[in-house]
Amino acid sequence: MTSPVFHFGPEPLTPLLIVISGPSGIGKDAVVQALRKENPNTHFVVTMTSRPPRPEERDGVDYFFVSRQEFERLIATGELLEHARVYSDYKGIPRGQVRQALQSGKDVIMRLDVQGAMTIRSLCPEAVLIFLTASSREEWIARLAGRCSESPEEFALRIQTAEQEYEKLDAFDYIVVNSDCHLHETVDTIQQIINTEHHRVHPRQVCL
């Protein structure tokens, strides 16, 4: 007869791969920035993009900004974990950055569009996928329009794309409402999700 195994004291934490996703304009960047302030020991993946930076964005902090030619070279050499052409530009995740952080024992958080999240789901079924949504369609459209960064054609395309992205909701583990002026509540909810995941009897085993 097998003797029972008793566990006392904290178990070493198994690092998580967490994806923050959702439609364009839902506030992924703001959520990730707020999470970053509260989680200094977590690795936040810096996405690479071929689009030019917006006025407030900093290279290496908000994104790694590279030329289209350089991005296509990285695709060809297999140096990106995930990449996609989003509207008229490329976005992707450097593979080495994620592996190194996981090997160091750190949780890894990345922000991705829904297409990118689906790629990560196929590569790593044990990733934690969180879908951000607004409290209403009207709130989200107003938020998107307030950025004033798209042409009418691009704006219409983003709305059409979002409708298709919501059809992927069943592939996610959690859905979190990111309402206007309630960012702290969104972040608190995500923190609770991360804490819950770290208390699973059978931890997620992330392999990349």
The count of other CB atoms within 10 Å of the CB of residue 90 is 20
Residues with a known catalytic role: 54, 147, 158
In-domain check, residue 7: no
Confidence of residue 10 (pLDDT cuts 50, 70, 90): low
In-domain check, residue 8: no
Q: Is the pLDDT of residue 75 over 80?
A: yes
In-domain check, residue 166: yes
Query: Which pLDDT tens digit goes with each residue over 83-139?
Result: 988 778 998 999 988 999 999 999 999 999 898 899 999 999 999 999 999 888 888
In-domain check, residue 2: no
Q: Is the pLDDT of residue 5 over 70?
A: no
In-domain check, residue 180: yes
Query: Model pTM?
Result: 0.83
Instruction: Tell me the residue type at 11.
Output: E
Query: Which pLDDT tens digit goes with each residue over 167-185?
Result: 999 999 999 999 888 999 9
Number of separate domains in the chain: 1
The per-residue DSSP string of 5-49 comes to PP--SPPPPPP-EEEEE-STTS-HHHHHHHHHHH-TTSEEPPPEE
Question: Residue 65's pLDDT is what?
Answer: 96
Q: Are 58 and 46 in contact (CB under 8 A)?
A: no
Question: Residue 109's pLDDT is what?
Answer: 96
Question: Residue 96's pLDDT is what?
Answer: 86
Range of the domain at 162: 17-197
In-domain check, residue 46: yes
Q: What is the mean pLDDT of residues 143-153?
A: 71
> How much of the chain exceeds pLDDT 70, in percent?
92
| CATH code, domain with 105 | 3.40.50.300
In-domain check, residue 183: yes
Q: Are 174 and 193 in contact (CB under 8 A)?
A: yes
In-domain check, residue 3: no
- Number of residues assigned to the chain: 208
